[in-house]
A and B are shown apart, each in its own frame.
Chain A
Amino acid sequence: MSVIDKAPPAPARPAAPREPRITDEHGRRVRVWELALRYLLLLGVLALTVGPFLWQLSTSLKGPTEDIFSSPPRFLPADPTLHNYERVADTIPVWDYALNSLKVAAANVVTNCVGAALAGYALARLRYRGRTAATLVFILAMLVPVEGIIIAQFTTMRELGLNNTLIGVVLPGCVSALNVLLMRNAFLNLPYEIEEAAFVDGANVWQRFLRVAVPSVKGTLAVVAIFAFMGAWDDFLWPLIVLSDPSKFTLTIGLNYLHGTFANDERLVAAGTIIAVAPLIALFACLQRYFFRGVGEGAVKG
């Protein structure tokens, strides 16, 4: 695993000969043509994965006088402006919505990390009757087609009196089955020896969980955190159904106001999508170091 987390190795050591010494994961030198081919392929894939986002960004920066439907398309805005972003903020209370989204997403991150770690630990480490049934519950839950149960979920929420609250938005996804299973796999991959020492020292199950097990699966927790944040931030239909009061709306619902019958401007929609995507990319950029380690821990073993 360590290979992945390594920062790009400083390629040119002072003592190196003229050519930079690039080595592969086994410490062998990489031939120049192979390197060139690699970069060429990397750039190709880069264009494919990031290009579409840049195109959207470019549209959002185009001013009101620029024809965005011109053919052939112009990649760079002739006169870049942040005007569209200002207009988004003028049209809808975008900061309030973003704050609601942030609350929901943050709560979702906390509940998923805590709930999934606890349940994952129970499934992987604790021995008790019914463990298989408990695992089965989470697996079945992962297979349920959500589109079919949304109204039933709403009815349950209303019976609890939690419709039109941000808690109601968070609750159904606050310990997602996929995250529980990810955590379970991460704990399964931990050697028992790690906990053994603590056990010998007389630590009880909570202490072992908190002090030994959890710190060893930080990576998977980062994955769960990102998934939880993404899930809550991106969700549209569920918050729309649960919430009635516009002052509680999340960003994805709020941005939909830009898309409606009375206001229909491609530049605004583009600016809106960038506003929706940017925080996720920023969050990911911050957590990516842990993240790349974590996805491995949780998922390698089937």
Chain B
Amino acid sequence: MPLSRRALAAAFAVCVALPLSACGSSGGGSADADASGKVEGDITFQTWNLRANFKDYFEGVIAGFEKKYPGTKVKWIDQPAEGYADKISADAAGGTLPDVVNVSPDLVAPLAKAGLALDLDKVAAKYKKEYLDGAWASHQVPGLQGTYAFPWYLNTGPLFYNKTLFKEAGLDPEQPPKTYDEVFDAALTMAEKTDGKVATLANVPTIEDFGRYGVPLMNKEGTAFAFNDTKGVELLTKYKELYDAKALDPQALTATPESSGKKFLTGAVAMNPGSALDLGNFKKQAPNLYKNIGITDQITSTGHVNMYVMGVMVNAQTKRTPAAVAFAHYVTDAEHQMSFAKKVAIFPSTAGSLDDPYFTKEDGTDETRVRVAAAKSLKNAVNYTPVLFSEQMKTALRNEVAKALQGKESPKEALDNAVEACDRLLRQQG
């Protein structure tokens, strides 16, 4: 194709002459927002992949709210699991964020910094006492004053193990490991007895694992990462040993929660963390396995298990602040969290809810046993994932951990590099 240089120059001139819009919102102020007005108007509520299974529940909640506050109308939109962060980013950059949004702490942090999340300490401080302290604090962002989302449901889970595989390896299926050391020993035995065919763990250590092992993740001010201390190096060194012995699955470096779940189902891996929810899955997907599943507590060296927190934030730029705040509170109040928890294996973040007999009384079934144990452990659980730990940082840590496991770097070097990379990303977040 003959192209003259002049044509090229012309094309570029045309392109560059086009006016450029510097997109991206310039962070609206949330300071003046006021939630004390009349609760009225149309608002939009966005959830994260809850429609497929809980359509009736949410429609019920919305109908209840609209009845309680005549003159309001809630439009519910639900986004699928994949691409949620991309969706929120595009909306945030384009100024089309819904009024009330289902978020997790790591999503809230950048939104709060950009002035897009409403500070609830300013407009909704009166509701603070209704929630567990730890849950309320989970949407606070280091470096910023305030709390940027109502805590919603919590989740944590036990560790599942395959009794058959334990038996075959000569381990006692009724005495599952309870500490990190016991897990590591069991894993090495399993690998040795099965000639490396059956691994015990399917995932490389994540930031939560470091937290549960007792490694300090950040400095006190929350301005730099600190998980490269001796304790962190010790954990990674141990994992390296497991990896070399094939006690950590050889595919662990590329594993996702889904793929490791699958491995557990196929009996390629002997242990897998999960939640009460997974029990149902096991029953459905691998009926043969279900009979042989053992359940034990999450392993932790700190006395605190890890929990995941979901939140509901209010868009700082909403035109209907009173209605949006009222609805965000309504969805997350004790009554509605409790009824949601009875629909699906999640746990309410409201004070006192976990003392409900539903979470304390056993009835002999596996489901109840898991639920009661989890509810008990949640009372002092910690959300180990730092609020400022972005996707990019997760990847950086994961890749450095992989280098250590492959032997390309020593555990110490790998963690030093990971901390350096995460600190740099933290500074670049602005």
Contacts and interface: CB of A to CB of B under 8 A. Distances in A.
Interface stretch (A128-136, A203-211, A220-228): A128-136
A164 B46 CA distance: 14
Contacts of A140: 11
Interface string B1-32: 11110011011000000000101000000000
A158 interface: yes
A158 B25 CA distance: 13
Nearest to A133: B7
* A135, A156, A261 pick with most chain B CB within 10 angstroms: A261
B51 A257 contact: yes
B1 A262 contact: no
Interface stretch (B90-98, B239-247, B375-383, B413-421): B90-98
Contacts of A136: 3, 7-8, 11
Interface in B320-349: 344
B49 A69 contact: no
A276 interface: no
A263 interface: yes
B281 A71 contact: no
A241 B82 contact: no
Contact of B23 (A130, A137, A155, A263): A155
Interface string A134-175: 011101100000000011101110110001100000000000
Interface in A61-82: 64-65, 67-71
B277 interface: yes
B23 A151 contact: yes
Given A140-B11, A152-B23, A163-B94, A68 B80 contact: no
Contact of A245 (B1, B77, B89, B267): B77
Contacts of A151: 23, 89-90, 93-94
6 contacts: A163-B94, A236-B83, A240-B79, A241-B83, A261-B81, A262-B54
Interface in A237-276: 237, 240-241, 244-246, 253-254, 256-266
A164 B284 CA distance: 37
Nearest to A253: B80
Interface of A: 64-65, 67-71, 91-92, 130, 132-133, 135-137, 139-140, 150-152, 154-156, 158-159, 163-164, 236-237, 240-241, 244-246, 253-254, 256-266
Given A130-B7, A132-B4, A136-B11, 18 more contacts: A68-B285, A132-B2, A132-B3, A136-B3, A154-B90, A155-B21, A155-B93, A156-B21, A158-B96, A237-B86, A240-B79, A260-B52, A260-B80, A262-B52, A262-B277, A263-B52, A264-B261, A265-B285
A220 to B, nearest CB: 19
B1 A133 contact: no
Contacts of B90: 150-151, 154, 241
A52 B49 CA distance: 29
Interface residues of B, number: 49
Contacts of A69: 262, 265-266, 285-286
* A140, A163, A262 pick with most chain B CB within 10 angstroms: A262
Interface string B54-91: 10000000000000000000000111111100110111
B53 A262 contact: yes
A265 to B, nearest CB: 6
Given A91-B52, A133-B10, A136-B8, A256 B95 contact: no
Contacts of B221: none
Contacts of B52: 91-92, 257-258, 260, 262-263
B204 to A, nearest CB: 21
Nearest to A68: B285
A151 B91 CA distance: 9
Nearest to A140: B11
Contacts of B287: 65, 67
Nearest to B44: A244
B94 A91 contact: no
B87 A259 contact: no
A237 B277 CA distance: 28
A241 B86 contact: yes
Contacts of A264: 258, 261, 281
B49 A257 contact: yes
B50 interface: yes
B406 interface: no
B87 to A, nearest CB: 6
A250 to B, nearest CB: 11
B288 interface: yes
Nearest to A255: B80
Nearest to B22: A155
A150 B285 CA distance: 37
A244 B8 contact: no
Contact of A154 (B4, B11, B94, B261): B94
A182 to B, nearest CB: 15
A151 B92 CA distance: 10
B11 A262 contact: no
Across the A-B interface, give the 6 residue pairs with the lowest CB-CB distance, nearest first: A260-B81, A256-B80, A155-B23, A260-B49, A257-B52, A69-B266
* B2, B81, B89, B258 pick with most chain A CB within 10 angstroms: B81
Contacts of B4: 132
Contact of A67 (B2, B51, B86, B286): B286
Contacts of A158: 94-96
A277 B276 CA distance: 34
Contacts of B81: 256-257, 259-261
Interface in B183-201: none
A88 B53 CA distance: 11
A155 B89 CA distance: 11
Given A69-B262, A151-B90, A241-B90, A265 B21 contact: no
Interface string B270-308: 000000010001001111100000000000000000000
B77 A246 contact: yes
A32 B87 CA distance: 59
Contacts of A164: 96
B362 to A, nearest CB: 25
B1 A244 contact: no
A244 B344 contact: no
Given A69-B286, A265-B284, A256 B82 contact: yes
